Amino acid sequence: MAKLAAKNSPQSLRSKYLELLRRGLSQAADELIEGALAGSSLEPEQIYLEVLMPAQRSIGRLWASGDLSVAEEHRATQITLAQMDILRRAMKPLERSGKRAITACHPDDPHAIPCRVVTDFLNRDGWTVDCIGCCPPVEEFVAFVHQNAPDLIAFSATMIDGAQGLRTYIEAVKRDKPDLPIVVGGAAFAAQPELLDDLGHDAFARDILEAVQISRELVGLPNRTTDLDTLLTLIGRRIQELRARKGLRQQDLAEKAQLDRAYLSTLEHGKQNLTIGAMLKLANALHVDVAELVRADGPSTI
Ligand code: B12
């Protein structure tokens, strides 16, 4: 039973997926992800954010350490793009909100995949999204914004230069449309938060789920995390992530928290309306604040 749970965990799927990326086995990657969608209790959103994205970051590390060539990294990235497409289709979109967004990154920052990720998750949340990836020159971008009349712009920055360059774009957009909300996010800001100083944006989101939440707030849509299922899923993922970080098996954590392992399993899958008492026991067993359990970050390392 424990073996089965481990087999279906995001961590084990991630290691298998990374190995296929390294070896460039695209068909096997199709089979692995399709199999996980069909046969495990993991949601497509979870596979997307907790399997594909960390694996991409690992590919970056392998490339940086010389363990993968540039061509092998490119091949891995193409495989992941194909899987993102499969998962995007598997995610059930929520009711259309009537809101429109543009997602983009700076032209000097060729990392357009994060724009695609923000796009997929806003789409899932009911937005209509124009994903343009790397921006055209500033005047053309402003004209595009004018023509498409979005309710929000989400800028992503992976490279430091890209993050700095966004200032010019934000200034130009704000000159034309001072009230158009702009949310920013991405690895560059996570690495150097001071890049956010005087950037001119309206909000910064630490991760994709937070971006979706903040975007809703910025345009006055009701917050969907008040939806019980979403909240329970977020809490479940958080418990699972904190447990994995401490190297604990479900059984270990259940014993420490004096909870039933099967109950913990349903909690981690967001299928159980947990009591405040259980939340407190888990927080104590994990040595974290209760508030930590309701944060929505995905794991950043494999
Ligand atoms: C694929 C890739 C490329 C591809 C990009 C393809 C594409 N269409 O995007 C290509 C080959 C073009 C590329 C080029 C380069 N790359 Co590159 N690349 C990567 C790699 C392996 C994966 C990127 C990726 O898709 N990650 C998955 C994403 C989605 O994860 P993420 O960025 O963390 O995004 C998450 C959050 O940040 C957040 N988020 C992101 N955006 C946003 C936006 C909003 C609004 C919000 C709320 C949240 C949010 O949500 C995401 C999902 O969880 C990374 C490794 C890595 N660590 O990511 C290196 C990496 C980013 N690249 C790197 C480098 C150095 C380069 C090059 C400079 C290499 C070179 N010498 O030529 C060039 C860039 C050249 C230039 N013109 O500047 C470095 C950057 C180091 C640094 N910090 O400066 C990395 C980290 C690799 C490494 N370990 O060294 N790269």
Position 19 in a domain: yes
Phi/psi of residue 49, each to 5°? Answer: -85, -30
- For the CA of 214, the closest atom of ligand 1 is 47
The verdict on residue 302 lying in a domain is no
Number of C-beta neighbours around residue 227 at 10 A: 12
Would 1 be classed as within a structural domain? no
Pick from 40, 67, 90: which residue ends a domain?
90
CATH classification at residue 161: 3.40.50.280
Q: Which pair of tokens denotes residue 144? A: 């595009």
Domain edge (last residue) among 169, 191, 223: 223
Give SS3 for 131: strand
Is ligand 1 within 6 A of the CB of residue 61?
A: yes
Q: What is the pLDDT of residues 233-276, one digit of tens each?
A: 778 878 988 898 889 999 999 999 999 999 999 888 888 888 88
- Among protein residues, the one with the nearest Cα to ligand 1's atom 90 is 64
Q: Please list the helix, strand and coil fractions of the chain in percent, rounded to the nearest 5, in that order.
A: 65, 10, 30
* Residue 1, pLDDT above cutoff 50: no
- Whose CA is closest to atom 75 on ligand 1? 110
- Evaluate if residue 71 carries a pLDDT over 50: yes
Q: Are residues 165 and 205 in the same domain?
A: yes
Mean pLDDT of the chain: 90
85 and 104 assigned to the same domain? no
Query: ∠ CA 251-292-247 to the nearest 5 degrees?
Result: 35
- pTM for the complete prediction? 0.80
**142 and 245, same structural domain?**
no
112/172 same-domain check: yes
Q: Is 21 in the pocket of ligand 1 (CB under 6 A)?
A: no
- pLDDT higher than threshold 50 for residue 300: no
Give the distance (Å) from ligand 1 centre to CA of residue 56: 9
Q: Are residues 187 and 128 in the same domain?
A: yes
Centre of ligand 1 to C-alpha 62, Å, is: 13
Distance 158 CA to ligand 1 centre (A): 5
Residue 295 — very low, low, confident or very high, per pLDDT cuts 50/70/90? low
Report the nearest atom of ligand 1 relative to the CA of 80.
Answer: 25
The verdict on the CB of residue 104 being under 6 Å from ligand 1 is: no
For residue 28, give the nearest of 39, 17, 14 by alpha carbon.
17
The answer to whether residues 185 and 209 belong to one domain is: yes
Cβ-based neighbours of 90, under 8 Å, separated by 6 or more: 37, 44
Q: Encode pLDDT of 183-227 as tens digits.
A: 999 999 999 999 999 999 999 998 998 899 999 999 999 876 556
Per-residue confidence (pLDDT) for residue 8, from 0 to 100? 66
**Percent of the chain, pLDDT > 90?**
71
Our answer on whether the CB atom of 296 is closer than 6 Å to any ligand 1 atom is no
Handedness of CA 283, 286, 289, 292 (dihedral sign): negative
Residue 232's pLDDT is what? Answer: 83
Residue 2 lies in a domain: no
**Sign of the Cα pseudo-torsion (87, 8, 254, 241, in order):** negative
Ligand 1 centroid from CA 77, angstroms: 10
Tell me the HSE value of 70 on the side-chain side, using a 13 A CA sphere. 0
Domain range for 48: 11-90
φ, ψ (nearest 5 deg) of residue 108: -85, 0
Same domain for 171 and 249, yes or no, is: no
Residue 6 lies in a domain: no
**Per-residue b or e along 163-179, where b marks 16 or more CB atoms closer than 10 Å to that residue's CB:** bbbbeebbebbeeebee
**Pair (25, 118) in one structural domain:** no
Beta carbon of 111 within 6 Å of any ligand 1 atom: yes
**Domain shared by 83 and 112, yes or no:** no
pLDDT attached to residue 271:
80
Domains in the chain, number: 3
Q: Which atom of ligand 1 is nearest to the CA of 156?
A: 43
| Residue 112 predicted with pLDDT over 70 | yes
pLDDT tens digit sequence for 49-64:
999 999 999 999 999 9
Look at residues 40, 64, 90 and tell me which one is the last residue of a structural domain.
90
Whether residue 117 is found in the same domain as residue 211:
yes
Question: Which residue, by CA, sits nearest to atom 87 of ligand 1?
Answer: 60
H-helix or E-strand containing 298? none
257 and 286: one domain? yes
Pair 162, 128 in one domain: yes
Question: What pLDDT was estimated at residue 226?
Answer: 56
Residue 128 burial class via C-beta count within 10 angstroms: exposed 0-12, middle 13-18, buried 19 and up: middle
Q: Tell me whether residue 134 is in a domain.
A: yes
Q: Does the CB atom of residue 300 touch ligand 1 within 6 A?
A: no
CATH of the domain at 24: 1.10.1240.10
CATH number for the domain that contains residue 245: 1.10.260.40
